[in-house]
Copies of this chain bind each other. A is one copy, B any other.
Amino acid sequence: MNGAESLVRTLVASDVDVCFTNPGTSEMHFVAALDRVDGMRCVLGLFEGVVTGAADGYARMADKPAATLLHLGPGLGNGIANLHNAKKAYSPMVNIVGEHATYHIEHDAPLTSDIEGVARPMSDWIKTSTSAADVARDGAEAITIARTGQGKIATLILPGDTAWNEGGEPTVAAPPPAREKVSEESLRAAADALTGGKQTVLFLTASALREDALHLAGRIAEKTGCRLLCQTSNGRLQRGAGRVSISKLPYPVDMALGALKDVDNLILVGAKPPVAFFAYPNKPNVLTPEGCNVLRVSWPDDDHLDALARLADLVNATGSTPLLQAAHRPEPAKGVLDVDKLAACIGANIPENGIVVNEAVTAGRGFHAATLGCPPHDWLDLTGGAIGDGIPMSVGAAIACPDRPVLCLEGDGSGMYTLQGLWTMARENLNVTVVIFANRSYAILRHELTNVGAENPGRKAIDMLTLDRPTLDWVDMARGMGVDAAKATTGEELDALLKRGLSTPGPFLIEAIYTP
């Protein structure tokens, strides 16, 4: 069998059974092998940012890697913004990138580029296979790496002749090493901080935000009086009625400083020390107050569940009853849409066991509070700030969880980066309701222009931040890609369209036009 087929067989045998693809000539043997090997679901994206973003969403919900299939350096390049987001979310992923045949690279044909160089900034592991006999073993190594810790980005580069030559020998990926248990000393230091009578915050991210881990954190909070806080952006947060609620560190610097101002001890569980998303002139970028004691319980790859269980033991919280979120939904809003009414309509409609993919940026500032008491759901954030992850992530989440409704909350500026993902939703008949919050501008940048001290912008500056002239029509664009769509300008319309989208199989897009 050829190298490509040995790789497909290795992926399937190792439980990597979804591949998001945008192939080219150098990947044709991999594509041809798909019909000879059972068990691999292939999903085509019409742009590579859709492919890598979908793999990110899939990994967050499936807790295992998907493969991607990408075409040489430029194809990988088109996908690296969403690889960046995936890396910041600690999503496992196995990228398979075609390369020219080994003997062809030296000739510098038009598509020749430094593929390892393109891969390096956004990959945790990179390898270029050198022969058909190595491909399966290299693929197995990539899978093991991807599954290590919270998740890694593994990029395997496959020269054409290693794919088409005979000699492939399928194998099975070794299981990853168990996640590291954290040291007793760091737990003891955290326990001392928690029980020392000072203002203490448990600051969490990664798998510490799953229901079971949050339940343990809730016990610790109940027992010790500490506050629970998570990063502004997280790969996946399990929340809603009956779960332990957690506040998010606010994005605006002044609000974040306010949230942390009296904190004596900040205990990191998987999280990084809190810093501003951007630095601004004349504002601090480190968000913890002077003199705050920052302790680390666990790194992102560590076993947070074990750490929190042992920490609960140390502070005698194992028997505590955590405070659970009460069920509550806002009433859907009425009248012309604004930011508050958007939040009310979303809060009124998040479905039981739904998956919310949030890239609403400006429109979303009221969403957290309005949705705390919704039925239990998963919440996926834009983790790396590289806009254009929302539509693709929704594709991947829907593939991972076909029985769960996906609600994609998307800004109009962000949505334009990877709108091609709508076509994949239509082709795969995915159960996704996309809401585009149309303010016809990069509204966040209007704030940022002031934040960086650039007062009174003129027409040329404003032109760089607005999406009007002409107005984007998302209903037309969605229909052009086979997705049914409608516009909402009032709370009544948005509420009715959300109910329609969420109760009807297949994708549906709502363009919610609002005043920022």
**Given A46-B416, A47-B416, is A454 in contact with B107 using a C-beta cutoff of 8 Å?**
no
Chain B residues positioned under 8 Å from A281 (CB to CB): 161, 164
Q: CA A465 – CA B388 in complex, angstroms?
A: 24
The residue in A85, A107, A471 that gathers the most chain B C-beta atoms within 10 A of its C-beta is: A107
- The answer, yes or no, to whether A508 is at the interface (CB within 8 Å) is no
Q: Are A100 and B279 in contact (CB under 8 A)?
A: yes
- The answer, yes or no, to whether A475 is at the interface (CB within 8 Å) is yes
Chain B residues positioned under 8 Å from A460 (CB to CB): 34-35, 40, 42
Chain B residues positioned under 8 Å from A279 (CB to CB): 100-101, 103-104, 160-161
- The answer, yes or no, to whether A188 is at the interface (CB within 8 Å) is no
Q: CA A214 – CA B161 in complex, angstroms?
A: 39
Q: Are A461 and B34 in contact (CB under 8 A)?
A: yes
Partner of A452, one of B160, B386, B423, B478: B160
Q: Are A118 and B80 in contact (CB under 8 A)?
A: yes
Q: CA A313 – CA B46 in complex, angstroms?
A: 52
Q: CA A111 – CA B47 in complex, angstroms?
A: 22
Stretch at the interface among A22-30, A173-181, A366-374: A22-30
Min Cβ gap A284→B in Å is 11
Which partner residue on chain B sits nearest A273 by CB separation?
Answer: B107
Chain A residues within 8 Å of chain B by Cβ, number: 104
**Given A117-B117, A278-B26, is A461 in contact with B35 using a C-beta cutoff of 8 Å?**
yes
**Given A28-B449, A84-B74, A117-B121, is A285 in contact with B464 using a C-beta cutoff of 8 Å?**
no
- The answer, yes or no, to whether A73 is at the interface (CB within 8 Å) is yes
Q: Are A74 and B384 in contact (CB under 8 A)?
A: yes
Partner of A81, one of B77, B85, B101, B480: B77
Chain B residues positioned under 8 Å from A23 (CB to CB): 445, 464-465
**Given A109-B277, A285-B107, is A427 in contact with B77 using a C-beta cutoff of 8 Å?**
no
Per-residue contact bits, chain A 94-108, to B (CB 8 Å; 1 contact, 0 not): 000000110110011
**Given A416-B46, A449-B28, is A109 in contact with B278 using a C-beta cutoff of 8 Å?**
yes
Per-residue contact bits, chain A 13-50, to B (CB 8 Å; 1 contact, 0 not): 00000000101111011011011100010101011010
Q: Are B110 and A233 in contact (CB under 8 A)?
A: yes
Min Cβ gap A395→B in Å is 15
Q: Which of A441-469 contact B (CB under 8 A)?
A: 444-445, 448-449, 451-454, 457-461, 463-465, 467, 469
- The answer, yes or no, to whether A496 is at the interface (CB within 8 Å) is no
Partner of A449, one of B31, B426, B427, B444: B31
Min Cβ gap A269→B in Å is 17
The quantity of this chain's copies bound in the complex is 2
Q: Which of A35-89 contact B (CB under 8 A)?
A: 35-36, 40, 42, 44, 46-47, 49, 72-75, 77-78, 80-81, 84-85, 88
Per-residue contact bits, chain A 466-490, to B (CB 8 Å; 1 contact, 0 not): 0101111111111111100000000
Which partner residue on chain B sits nearest A383 by CB separation?
Answer: B110
**Given A100-B279, A457-B32, is A272 in contact with B108 using a C-beta cutoff of 8 Å?**
yes
Q: CA A100 – CA B278 in complex, angstroms?
A: 7
Q: CA A264 – CA B35 in complex, angstroms?
A: 45
Q: Are A385 and B110 in contact (CB under 8 A)?
A: yes
Min Cβ gap A236→B in Å is 15
Of the A-B pairs whose beta carbons lie under 8 Å apart in the complex, a sample of 14, sorted by A's number, is: A24-B445, A31-B461, A44-B464, A74-B84, A100-B279, A101-B279, A109-B276, A110-B384, A111-B385, A114-B120, A473-B480, A474-B480, A476-B479, A477-B480
Instruction: Give 7 A-B pairs besides A31-B454, A117-B121 with Cβ atoms closer than 8 angstroms.
Output: A21-B464, A24-B445, A35-B460, A46-B417, A103-B279, A108-B275, A416-B420
Q: Which residues on A are within 8 Å of B, measured CB to CB? A: 21, 23-26, 28-29, 31-32, 34-36, 40, 42, 44, 46-47, 49, 72-75, 77-78, 80-81, 84-85, 88, 100-101, 103-104, 107-111, 113-114, 117-118, 120-122, 160-161, 164, 232-233, 272-273, 275-279, 281, 285-286, 383-386, 388, 413, 416-417, 419-420, 423, 426-427, 444-445, 448-449, 451-454, 457-461, 463-465, 467, 469-482
